[in-house]
Structure 1
Amino acid sequence: MVRNPHQIKAGNGRSLKRFRPWQMLSRALFYLSVTNGEGRPVVYAVDVPYWQRVLTDDGHGKAHLYRDGEHHAHSKLPAAFPVEGGTIEVVPTSFGLKRCHYVTEEGAASRLVPDERSAEGRRARFDREHPVLSRLIGALSLTVLFTSVALIVLQIVEALAAVPPVAERLGTFTSPIDLSIGLNSLLALCASTAAVERATRLRWNPLLDGSA
């Protein structure tokens, strides 16, 4: 359950803008269809413009909630929007979202449906159409992140062991793998790409994917 530390503010009623292809890395858009007390279907949309991170003090950005296509509310992230029958929880990471779920009053949670044109929607469609290849890509992303973390840890330990007080107490340590600046930059690029791929599936691990 997400505790929302930010005040939810009322929306201005503007219309939801269609997702554009060039927004795949700068915007997330998810949908939820529920039934109100009168038995009428209501469609909610959660719009997260990643560029708004630069406008918030903590760098997490904002989430905007639309109800039947009209701007209904907005909040800094993480956000918990009350809706019919439960709450929509939205939690960011450094590379996207780790949570965009509808949690019912009984505690059951389900992920919202991503817009088909978004990065998350395209990744979900790829998973449906090519499940084996999708799993291989997911495994590759995980392997890249594991490898990156392991190599970073080795370099950190080597640097710490070079500090005289530490060396005197614990001895020196030389990493068995010595990476150049160019290889370290390539490793960082690969790790970032893998983290983005995992973010499109809303997969997140505090060790592998960084802090939220």
Structure 2
Amino acid sequence: MAPFDVFSCSDQVEEKRLRPFRRSQVLHRWLYTIGFADHTWTVDVDLSDEDGAAELYRDGLLHARGELPVAFAVPGGRVEVDAGLYGVTRAHLVRDDGEERRLTPARGTAEDLRGRLARRHPLLSTAIAWLAIAVLAVNLVLAVPQALELLTTIPKIADNVGTFTSPVVLPMWLNISLITAGALAATERVLTLRRNRVLDVETLWTGL
């Protein structure tokens, strides 16, 4: 996980109200919220913005804005936010005593819908989660060596580390299938804010 520099919130931010979430924004906008220190804090990450910054709202009014990854200072702690290719990978309140609380996805977001599925159909949810793990594990074994071979064809990289020949050679249709399945599996992991340092390295390949 990337280090978080604590961003001190300033009162010198523009007066701006939190926009309602629309279903048409489900692929590029993420909202997470939490009640803490007598206020409702909402994180808004919209990758359709040019800078892709995160915004922190206090009771519906803009409180601070910062580039990802960012940690917003709040009374009694901080709100840590980070995002990747497939969405928000971290949205946690870290109290001064070290206790962490995950923010709750706002109603109507893809993360909220995924959470409802987990509550209503826990067995199905568990099966989907394990299927995502299996797909990423297979891709880690089959696709990543090919990604390394591709990277070492870049002259500057080849000059420093040499070339690499993948022991795995797959037909194009299977490569495309693996990339598609990997992207879906990575999205599933992000929707539930799950991350593993080894397993989720594979998501770098699906983004190539």
Q: What TM-score do the two structures reach when normalised by structure 1?
A: 0.79
Relative contact order, higher structure (CA 8 A, sep 6+): 1
- After superposition, what is the alpha-carbon deviation per residue over 1:61-109, rounded to whole angstroms, capped at 9, x for unaligned? 3100111111111000011011121100002222112210001110000
Structure 1 residues 110 and 173, CA gap change in structure 2 (3 angstroms):
closer
Structure 1 residues 94 and 206, CA gap change in structure 2 (3 angstroms):
farther
One of 62, 87, 93 as aligned partner of 1:71:
62
Shift of 1:148: 0.8
Percent of pairs with identical residues: 36
**1:50-129 paired onto structure 2 within 5 Å:** 50-52=47-49, 55-56=50-51, 61-129=52-120
Q: Are residues 1:43 and 2:45 paired?
A: no
CA–CA distance in structure 2, aligned partners of residues 45 and 158 of structure 1: 42
Aligned CA-pair RMSD: 2.5
What's the secondary structure of 2:15's corresponding residue? coil
Q: What TM-score do the two structures reach when normalised by structure 2?
A: 0.80
Structure 1 residues 157 and 48, CA gap change in structure 2 (3 angstroms):
closer
CA–CA distance in structure 2, aligned partners of residues 76 and 156 of structure 1: 29
Shift of 1:11: 2.8
Shift of 1:182: 2.0
CA–CA distance in structure 2, aligned partners of residues 192 and 25 of structure 1: 13
CA–CA distance in structure 2, aligned partners of residues 77 and 186 of structure 1: 31
Structure 1 stretches of at least 4 aligned residues deviating more than 2 Å after TM superposition: 5-11, 153-160, 172-175, 205-211
Unaligned runs of 5+ in 1: 36-40, 161-171
Structure 1 residues 62 and 7, CA gap change in structure 2 (3 angstroms):
farther
* Count of aligned residue pairs for this structure pair: 187
**1:1-212 paired onto structure 2 within 5 Å:** 2-4=3-5, 10-35=12-37, 41-52=38-49, 55-56=50-51, 61-153=52-144, 155=146, 175=168, 178-210=169-201
Quick one: which amino acid aligns to residue 3 of structure 1? F
CA–CA distance in structure 2, aligned partners of residues 144 and 7 of structure 1: 40
